Amino acid sequence: MSLILGSQHLDRIQDTLQKNLIGSGVQNTMLIDMAGNIIVTVDNGQVTRDMYSLAALAAANFGAMCSMARIVGEEEFSLLFHKGQKESIYFSRVNEEFLLVNIFDNEVTLGFLRLKMAQVIQELSRVLD
Amino acid sequence: MAFINLKDRVIQAKIVYYGPGRCGKTTNLEYIYSRCREQINSEMVTVKTQGDRTLFFDFFPFDIGKIAGYDVKIQLYTVPGQVKYNSTRRLVLKGVDGVVFVADSEAERRNKNVASLMNLQENLALYNKNIFEMPLVIQYNKRDLAKQGIEVLDVETLDRDLNGVLKAPSFEASAVEGDNVVVTLKKIISLTMASLEKELENGDW
């Protein structure tokens, strides 16, 4: 079964990501499905990245983490965060089918991002459900 | 699960190359990647072990141009063929829209082909997908081995083993030499797109 989204839904998702995440200093934010398809991607206009490859790897990485969680007796690891020297990646599950991936530098703190994410996930859930 | 973006008129669909270890799945993708660079705006992603075997998957997105006014982007993946990586194969199959089953023509690998095909059927079933209804192409790879004096199975035997009931389109191929690699790809893309079109006509969304 395919997922089909029209302008109205996609614009709402894009606005939510732009306002809350790019507006708060995140470089790239990307809503993907668990199969690795990109639903919406937004950036700050200053970075160029291969988002298709990133989406494929992010979906696989998140899937692998969920499998690991089940092996150790957890439902899921709710926080998935990779910290680099300059850039970091933060993954958040929106619901069963969607994942939000954020790339940000040292200007943005993880705590601030987590606060923002709670709000964004609520808004995205309203659109996607 | 294909994604159709009505706003930008883009379709993304996922095709997975499946088969036993060392059957040539990665070689198929490497050939496509080297020959179709104009349609691939991305590096080929490979997650390998130290021994150069596929650990997780190989991947690149492949632009096939416009169909009915939509830009169609096919996400091509391989799975790791080794038996022990079944949980990884399941992850890669999530949301799959079409499958190329790459069989190894070498006579010694006969049982491994059958086991891998059964494994594909089981893993698809986990996602409520029926192998008989899924767009599927079977590729009998490594036909070139015969030239090196290595015993290969004849196509009738391969057909009987793997395609007797499925009746999927099948091609003899040599991924190393590029024989029928693109033909296989074109066929699975056409089946996948036809399946998506049918789904849309039936309103299954």
Min distance A33 CA to chain B CA atoms (Å): 9
Name the CATH code of domain B3-197 (choices 3.40.50.280, 3.30.365.10, 3.40.50.300, 3.40.50.11540). 3.40.50.300
So what's the pLDDT on residue B50?
Answer: 64
Closest chain B residue to A32, measured at CA: B3
CA–CA gap between residue A102 and residue B149 (Å, rounded):
53
So what's the pLDDT on residue A11?
Answer: 97
Best of B58, B74, B91 to mutate (most A CBs within 10 Å, chain A): B91
CA–CA gap between residue A17 and residue A66 (Å, rounded):
25
Tokens of B165: 């009931």
So what's the pLDDT on residue A105?
Answer: 95
Contact between B7 and A7 using a beta-carbon 8 Å cutoff:
yes
Domain residue spans of chain B: 3-197
The identity of residue A1, as a single letter, is M
- Please enumerate, as own/partner, the contacts of B114-118 that have beta carbons within 8 Å and a separation of 24 or more: B114/B161, B114/B162, B115/B20, B115/B83, B116/B18, B116/B19, B116/B20, B116/B23, B116/B81, B117/B162
Tokens of B144: 């070139």
Does residue A29 register a pLDDT over 70?
A: yes
Chain A to chain B, count of Cβ pairs less than 8 Å apart?
Answer: 96
So what's the pLDDT on residue B204?
Answer: 53
Of A33, A50, A53, the CB nearest to B1: A33
So what's the pLDDT on residue B49?
Answer: 72
Q: Which of B204, B177, B197 has its CA nearest to residue B67?
A: B197
Numbered residues of chain B with Cβ closer than 8 Å to any chain A Cβ: 1-8, 12, 14, 42-43, 45, 47, 56-57, 59-61, 73, 75, 77, 87-88, 91-92, 94-96, 196, 199-200, 204-205
Q: Do A108 and A25 form a contact (C-beta atoms < 8 A)?
A: yes
- In chain A, residues with a C-beta closer than 8 Å to the C-beta of B129 are none
**DSSP H/E element including A51:** helix A51-71
Contact between B199 and A2 using a beta-carbon 8 Å cutoff:
yes
So what's the pLDDT on residue B1?
Answer: 83
Best of B1, B54, B76, B196 to mutate (most A CBs within 10 Å, chain A): B1
pLDDT tens profile B82-128: 998 999 999 999 999 999 999 999 999 999 999 999 999 999 999 99
Min distance A39 CA to chain B CA atoms (Å): 7
Say which CATH class A7-128 falls into.
alpha beta
CA–CA gap between residue B117 and residue B112 (Å, rounded):
9
pLDDT tens profile A93-126: 999 899 999 999 999 999 999 999 999 999 999 9
Min distance B31 CA to chain A CA atoms (Å): 18
CA–CA gap between residue A94 and residue B76 (Å, rounded):
25
Tokens of B188: 């699975």
Contact between A53 and B92 using a beta-carbon 8 Å cutoff:
no
So what's the pLDDT on residue B201?
Answer: 77
pLDDT tens profile B154-173: 999 999 999 999 999 999 99
What's the mean pLDDT in B175-183? 98
So what's the pLDDT on residue B47?
Answer: 86
Tokens of A95: 């619901």
- Helix, strand, coil tally for chain B in percent (to 5): 40, 30, 30
Contact between B2 and A67 using a beta-carbon 8 Å cutoff:
no
Does residue B9 register a pLDDT over 80?
A: yes
CA–CA gap between residue B26 and residue B100 (Å, rounded):
12
Task: Say which residue, A14 or B43, is predicted with more confidence.
Answer: A14
A1 touches chain B (CB under 8 A): yes
Does residue B199 register a pLDDT over 90?
A: no
* Mean pLDDT rounded to a whole number for chain B: 94
CA–CA gap between residue B13 and residue B72 (Å, rounded):
8
Beta bridge partners of B65: B72
Domain residue spans of chain A: 7-128
So what's the pLDDT on residue B194?
Answer: 94
Does residue B205 register a pLDDT over 60?
A: no
- Helix, strand, coil tally for chain A in percent (to 5): 45, 25, 30
pTM summary value: 0.93
What's the mean pLDDT in B54-72? 91
Does residue B203 register a pLDDT over 70?
A: no
What's the mean pLDDT in A68-74? 92
Does residue A1 register a pLDDT over 80?
A: no
In b/e form, how buried is each residue of B170-191, taking b as 16+ CB within 10 angstroms? Answer: bbbbbbbeebbbeebbebbbeb
